[in-house]
Amino acid sequence: MNTATTTTANGHAPHGDGHYGGALRWLTTTNHKDIGTMYLTFALIMFFVGGAMILAVRAELFQPGLQLMQPEFFNQLIGVHALVMIFAALMPAATGFANWQIPLMIGAPDMALPRLNNWGFWLLPPAAILLTLPFPLALLGIGDGAIATGWTFYAPLSVQGGIGVDFAIFAVHILGISSILGSINIIVTIFNLRAPGMTMMKLPLFCWGWLITAFLLIATIPVLAGAVTMLLTDRHFGTHFFNAAGGGDPILFQHLFWFFGHPEVYILLLPVWGLMPHVLATFSRKSVYGYKGQVYGFVAIGLLSVVVWAHHFFTAGLPVPALLYFMYSTMSISLPLAVLFFCWIATMWRGSMSFETPMLFAVGFIVLFGIAGLTGLVLADVAADAQYHHSYFVVAHFHYALFAGGIMGVMTGVYYWLPKWTGRMYSETLGKWHFWLTVLSFNLTFMPQFFLGLAGMPRRIPDYALQFAEFNAISTVGAFILGISQLLFAWNIIQCVRGRGAPAASRAWEGATGLEWELSSPPPHHSWEVQPRVK
């Protein structure tokens, strides 16, 4: 995206903040809308970077045998794909939403800590470079490539790994600092800058979702940072946190990692769950159903998410009481999640629905994320999990959660708010094409992976037995259609940013309610200089 987003599109001259033009303006900006734009642009770029990596992987898996790459490189691609998609695409996209929308939605002029906000963003590009730098370095003969342990850094494999692991450790540290800074800013903004009359129980659900996310980040990122620091000292300074020979325990790493890792799933999803009711209510022309229920649902999921982590390593040989505890606590997450599903469907019920692109994505999200939730329920069962675990069944499950749940949720938000951000309507025809191609090719890619997992194909293998050939071929075809369809998405956004398309009204959607729709599209430089009073 370019400077047109917030300035020239509405005839504003760049002003305020640093008074710079051009690149320096973006480097020094403290405006929440500029920073939001940078987060979203960064996320979109990294989405394509991570996507390209996995397309190379799928191409290798098209047929049995090694055709395109060696297993070492394969292992690097899968791990960096996950790290890029999670830390550099999904999380920044959600933070971009927060930056753009939270001040608009709560009636604030900007985020509470604007310079911190700037720093939070500008930590990301160096981290992304650190993460991917080992690839070009390996081409120059330095080191042996990027981290090859998968995104989970499991010790002792990561203790054994090359410089890619060190690069990834530092990248994760920097990304973590960025997330923590962003979270602190969001929490204090929501606590201190709400418009008069906006009590916490009138706070828009998107802000509630993000508030819980921000607290989860603050609680869990330090644990991840601690775990990878311990890994670093094990690698270079002779400690034995994860080495049994020195009195350590490799499983300790898994406990620490997943104490972060499981809440991370909800960190990725809560902003999307917060945004869904807005979209559903808008296009059903009806108010949100069960506002309080959803708020309590978010809180309950946030609390539960930090006490279920060990279901990520049921096969590691935990004691029976631990297995039972983690099984039942994991199953109980289905209850608050069911509250959300109930409220989403009840919001649509007896409305006056129309199906513009954001609504299509929202409905697609509900159905496909439903599959993720239901398969998650069976994965919680320790006995059946012994069969599903480490297999493609799990790969399919978490892509239904994180692609259909996370990325399609982000796309819902982008289509919903793009008119507000750019002042232009996107192309509805292209949007619909994008939706249908995405949904169909997504299922074509990941549905076969459920069956591959059931048939016994383990995750993260570069080559496979002949009985898995057909499903893998189907999956690869689906993945390439899925990847290429996303170009429509990028093109649609670029056209809006360039000022093509019909001008958007303040209230871009007929049924939209909320403070953000009271401002012009795009909003003025300082969003709410005059705070509204909320009744």
Q: Is residue 232 near other proteins by the rule CB under 8 A?
A: no
Q: Is residue 256 near other proteins by the rule CB under 8 A?
A: yes
Report the candidate in 336, 337, 334, 329 with the shortest Cα–Cα distance to residue 309. Answer: 329
Q: Which stretch binds other proteins (CB under 8 A): 21-29, 92-100, 363-371, 488-496?
A: 363-371
**Which residue number, 188 or 437, has a Cβ lying nearer to other proteins?**
188
Q: Which of 128, 327, 395, 496 touches other proteins by CB under 8 A?
A: 327
CB of 450 to other proteins, least distance (A): 7
Nearest 10 degrees: Cα torsion 71, 75, 77, 83: 180
Q: Is residue 494 near other proteins by the rule CB under 8 A?
A: no
**Which residue number, 239 or 495, has a Cβ lying nearer to other proteins?**
239
Q: Is residue 432 near other proteins by the rule CB under 8 A?
A: no
Residue with tokens 């790969």: 395
CA atoms 459, 460, 465, 466: torsion sign: positive
**DSSP state letter for 506:** S
- Give the interface size with other proteins as a residue count (CB under 8 A): 148
329: amino acid identity, one letter: S
Residues 116-135 that bind other proteins (CB under 8 A): 116
Q: Which of 119, 125, 285, 524 touches other proteins by CB under 8 A?
A: 285
Residue 289 C-alpha from the chain's centroid: 25
Q: Is residue 495 near other proteins by the rule CB under 8 A?
A: no
Q: Is residue 524 near other proteins by the rule CB under 8 A?
A: no
Q: Is residue 154 near other proteins by the rule CB under 8 A?
A: yes
Give the number of residues written for the chain: 535
Q: Is residue 362 near other proteins by the rule CB under 8 A?
A: no
Q: Which of 192, 303, 484, 502 touches other proteins by CB under 8 A?
A: 192
Q: Is residue 71 near other proteins by the rule CB under 8 A?
A: yes
**Which residue number, 94 or 343, has a Cβ lying nearer to other proteins?**
343
Q: Is residue 293 near other proteins by the rule CB under 8 A?
A: yes
CB of 197 to other proteins, least distance (A): 9
Q: Is residue 481 near other proteins by the rule CB under 8 A?
A: no
CA atoms 15, 16, 19, 24: torsion sign: negative
Residue 65 C-alpha from the chain's centroid: 33
CB of 371 to other proteins, least distance (A): 7
Separation of alpha carbons 420 and 520, rounded Å: 8
Q: How far from 306 is each of 25, 220, 263, CA to CA, in Å?
A: 40, 8, 6
**Which residue number, 45 or 469, has a Cβ lying nearer to other proteins?**
469
Q: Which of 4, 56, 137, 180 touches other proteins by CB under 8 A?
A: 180
Q: Please report, in angstroms and rounded to a whole number, the separation of the first and last CA atoms in the chain.
A: 36
Give the H or E element holding residue 416: helix 408-422
Structure tokens at 31: 């405006």
Residue with tokens 């002779």: 238
CB of 499 to other proteins, least distance (A): 28
Residue 503 C-alpha from the chain's centroid: 30
